[in-house]
Structure 1
Amino acid sequence: MSISTSVLEALLQAQPQLRSQIYFKPSLIALSHAMEDQVLAGVGEPLVIANFQQERFYRQEAHRYRRIAAQTPHVYVLAAPETEFKNASGHYETIAFAPTDELKHEWHLVVVGEQYASCLVCRERDAIASTPSPEGCKNQNEWSVLQTSFLEMDQSRRFEGVWTFDRQVSCWVANLLLDRIVGYRPELAAKVAQAKLKLQQNLSGFPQADPGPFAERLVTYLQAGQYKLLKAYSSIAIQERKERLINSITDTIRRSLHLDEILQVATSELGQALGLCRCMIYRCKATDTAATISHEFLGSSALASVAQQTWPLQNHPLFQEVLEKRSPVWMENTQSSPRLQAVPEILALAQEWQIGSWLMAPVFYNDRLLGLIELHHCGAQTYRWQQDEIALVEAIATQLGVALIQAEAYANLEDLNEQLEALDRTRSNLIAITGHELRTPLSTIQICLESLAQEPDMPLELRQVMLNTALDDAERLRELVQDFLTLSRLESGRVEWHPEPLPLGECVDLALSSVRSRQAEVSLPQITTCLPSELPLVQADGEWLVEVLSKLLDNACKFTPTQGQVTIEAQDNQNQMLEVTIGDTGRGIEPNRLEAVFDRFYQEEGALRRTTGGTGLGLAICRQIVQNWGGQIWAQSDGKDLGSQFRFTIPIVGNTKAQPAESASETRQPTRRPRNRTRAKRRTTLK
């Protein structure tokens, strides 16, 4: 059975004086509940007929109709079945009409009692045109899915219909619906006849229904709707504020990787958005005992600024709880908080800076603490931190964690770029030095050996010259390779150090002997040793100390003309260190290059056009040696052609003073000797 006639259309044809109106679903719910409440609050056994369109809408109100069924036996519920709804006689009569019946698009509720009557007859507007039809679907399941999607737009559903207290109209609609009930369930004919009989009795002479309950229900429903609307608006405003803040910080992160700018924007935006007295963001680690406040927002000019103040963390109860919980923690009133009462230092801090309510949120990234966000409300009044404020702070902390990591990565990338540039310069210098310092002596050695091999009758004097030239260039190659290996061992930490108490004068004498023997055939500048008669013993490895002195003296002699002067001085700098100075009156160093001279392969004139030999590794080796024993090395010069001074420090052995040395032969020699073998010794052997 399926009836295509609309109850609303039939009513309007039978009662032309009625005018239909437009109702939204919330209004119909309020009216229906008011009619049902009138049954629950009244007496007697009224007739109640309800059409819910579909089973899913009926299930939302089933509990109410079980209560109504306890009031009267004449309760009839109609709906199109979807899963479990069917024709049944239980607490009340349920009538499952065909899904193609016009009732599926209508909403009806009729209540007829002895003292009142009301009727609500509505039809969903454009339901036939809007609702998916089964003919356009592949199967019943697809049709159900489409219907569900359509009907879930609940609050915007519109109905056209009639709501009235008129008893005659209510009885007419009730008779029409009872006839349809009998059509679907003929076994209810006797019970329906009793209901119709009650409708015929006392059609006139009864009071009209009291509209009070309906008005109260509508007001209550509207107030509840307004409250939900306000909550929705508040939630939207909070979400908008949160997204605006996050977008502002994200935009700053995208525009700049400058950490100070990012933190300042976050501090200012968060402080203004929450109306705080003070907002602070600063960097710290989980192991820090204190931190420096780097960025601050003040909500009032009357508040004291804590910027650049040292903030204690070691005994701070909020900080310890943050590390434990890994989430924001707060105090609503610092003066009454038992956590602060147990730590007088932090309580005094809160009083000094007028902190009334305190919130601390961590900035984490991959379980690593990067910093903290602190929010303060000042004054004696208790401030209750809201969940939306805490959620906002957590969202900002998450963004800051990403920003801090990105800024660190950018800084590390800059360092890596500088290192790559340095490596590139080193590679270029190495290529130049390899070409100049290796190829040239190898070519000389090859020419000398070829000449000796091809000219067996060469005079003895010329043969000796060839051999000496080859030996000299072989020594240059050996020194170059030795410097490479020495610097590599020092930088990789593969050197075994043997520090011992040593007199500086001995090491200076050995270094001078080494320099003079290596440059026996070269006119050296005048070298003057100006050491005090009494010097404290130094704690160093003798072999490496002689190496530093030798290389610095070599460097001074190399860049000082023959008529110039080189001096060696030493003094106690009153800091448990002995300061040694090797000065010269030579070429000098530009002020902007005083630090660069210690770089590997540094050549003042360039690797290929310099007038003096060398690999550019000597000063780099000296720096590695001096830094190993805890000293410092640096260069001083007033500029080009104004001479230079190289200074380095050596640790002193306690306060023990060395005895004055009468001569080099009377002093104790270091246990290790310089490793350089001189060319002069080899020449003597050849002769």
Structure 2
Amino acid sequence: QLTVPEVSVDSAADCQPAVRERVVLPEEPGSNEAPPNIWRTVDGRLLVQVVEPVVHEGHTIGIVQLTREASGVDRTLFEVRASIFGLTLIALALTVLLSWYLSLTIARPILSLARAARVMRDNAGRTFSVPTRLRARRDEIGLLASTLDESAQALWTRMDAIERFAADVAHEIKNPLSSIRSAIETALRIGDVEQQKRLLTIIGHDVRRLDRLITDISDASRVDAELSRTRPERVAVAPILSVMAEMNEATREADGPLLVVEAESDTRPGREGQPLAVWAVEDRLVQVLRNLIGNAESFSPPAGRIWLRVAEAGRGFVSIAIEDEGPGIPPAKLESIFDRFYTERPAAERFGQHSGLGLSISRQIVTNLRGNLAAQNRTDASGAILGAKFVVTLPRAF
């Protein structure tokens, strides 16, 4: 028989050290074991106490109480706290380094771009541009810097074009005004009625020329703004050319040029036989075609032919060609004919009938429609010039 000496509760409590704080752990559900007791003594030691009953033949005959100092737990807690503190310092250092790196790679370059834009805005002229080191970067900052520099260059180019346009306009308007002034001064000095009538005829002619010139200048100045606000739409080309040919046939004189339409059809599956279409603003496209056809008519021989051809141009484009049987274009002037106020006309045509802006406006419209307008000569096998050919290339509408 096992005999266990009895220990009174009071004497057991007397053996416990002075307690500063106690941690009471909850009992686990379904467990018969009592949770351990954890104390922190006044002198800072951590104690863990486990109490278990002593059972013999179904009767509790005593208890076993084990108390142990848990200094290892303190060391572990200290190590964990030190690790957390160290990780916090490392994270803080990384945050500072990352902020410094972002400041060098993003914030400062953006500030440099802002300073460059501010300097260009404050009339620094073309002596200043975006720093090369920023444009040379191969990241988003470099792309932004290059875009800003290209925008500035485009703006300066547009300003140059406006200055040239203003100078050209002033020159073209000055000529008829000088003629009108001279005619008026002469008419005031002479008494011959017939000469005065001739001078008045000259004045009327110059006034009409001024009116035509101002109308074309106004149209040229509106093209960019109008097309920037207008969304291109799907426009079938062949029906427009057919209507123009019918109108020409109804109004042309006996020896006037004949318009011949030759239009290919769409060959894509599901659109077989339909007319080819382009992305354009219909009113402006009609204006371009009228300018080119009118130009061809003025250079065509009596009873000549003008071909209006529509065909696929490949790579998603459609070409519209206007060909005549005139004298053609001097090779050295295939580009200069698109300059503003270029007015080389047939010898039989009276001076001042055209402002010289028609082809320039036509190219301006086609360029805004993401197309191209080019001039070339029709030639035979031997290279002899058979006439002029203007080709309008526009994006194909799908």
The alignment's TM-score, normalised by the length of structure 2, stands at: 0.46
The structure, 1 or 2, with the larger RCO (C-alpha pairs under 8 Å, 6+ apart) is: 2
The alignment's TM-score, normalised by the length of structure 1, stands at: 0.29
Q: Larger C-alpha radius of gyration, 1 or 2?
A: 1
